Amino acid sequence: MKVENVRPVDSDARPALVLVAGSEVPAGFPSPSQDYTTSEINLNEHLLTSPSSMYLMRVRGQSMTGAGIYDGDEIIVDKGRRAEDGDVVIAYVDGEMTVKRLRRTPDGGVILAPENPAYPNIIIPELSDLQIWGVVTTCLHHVPRG
């Protein structure tokens, strides 16, 4: 899975206010007694934990579908956050950026694991030159029109 269209998040942007209708939306049967009061949230505060180190990237490919990241989705990446085992990361491998789940092995190695069984793990030997570019914090999934 590749990333493209990398751009920094504007930390000085105006608040991105969105109306919130109620607190939950049932995915089963609707409740006729549901209260539909509204409030506002600022998406900048909700999605951008450290705006000066965050980037927006578009994803291409199918290797991370098990993590809820699909072709054409946009991800928010924190370049300043330290990557931990189990994080979804942006990594430089062989000169290309890729999105994978970071797995550390007991012997000091690294595996970049896809979240789709149709794709193989990328095994990084201990002395390889691997760069973790950033940690994925949010996926903006686009629901296809039907």
CA atoms within 13 A on the CB side of 17: 6
Identify how many contiguous H helices and E strands the chain contains and give both numbers.
Answer: 1, 10
**Is 126 within the bounds of a domain?**
yes
Give the global pTM.
0.74
Q: What is the pLDDT of residue 144?
A: 77
**Is 38 within the bounds of a domain?**
no
Cα 121 from chain centroid (whole Å): 19
Range of the domain at 71: 2-10+50-140
**Is 31 within the bounds of a domain?**
no
Q: What is the pLDDT of residue 130?
A: 85
**Is 43 within the bounds of a domain?**
no
Q: What is the pLDDT of residue 47?
A: 64
Report the distance separating Cα 21 and Cα 104, nearest Å: 42
Mean pLDDT of residues grouped by 10 in the chain (146 residues)? 63 59 59 59 64 83 95 90 95 88 89 96 79 91 80
Annotated catalytic residue 100:
yes
Q: Partners of 4 in the beta sheet?
A: 58
Annotated catalytic residue 63:
yes
**Is 78 within the bounds of a domain?**
yes
Report the distance separating Cα 46 and Cα 8, nearest Å: 17
Q: What is the pLDDT of residue 28?
A: 62
CATH number for position 112 = 2.10.109.10
**Is 34 within the bounds of a domain?**
no
Q: What is the pLDDT of residue 141?
A: 87
Given the residues 39, 52, 100, 128, select the one marked as catalytic. 100
The structure tokens listed for 23 are 């607190």
Domain count across the chain: 1
**Is 32 within the bounds of a domain?**
no
**Is 45 within the bounds of a domain?**
no
Q: Partners of 116 in the beta sheet?
A: none
For 35, other C-beta atoms within 10 Å of its C-beta total 8
Given the residues 23, 33, 52, 63, select the one marked as catalytic. 63
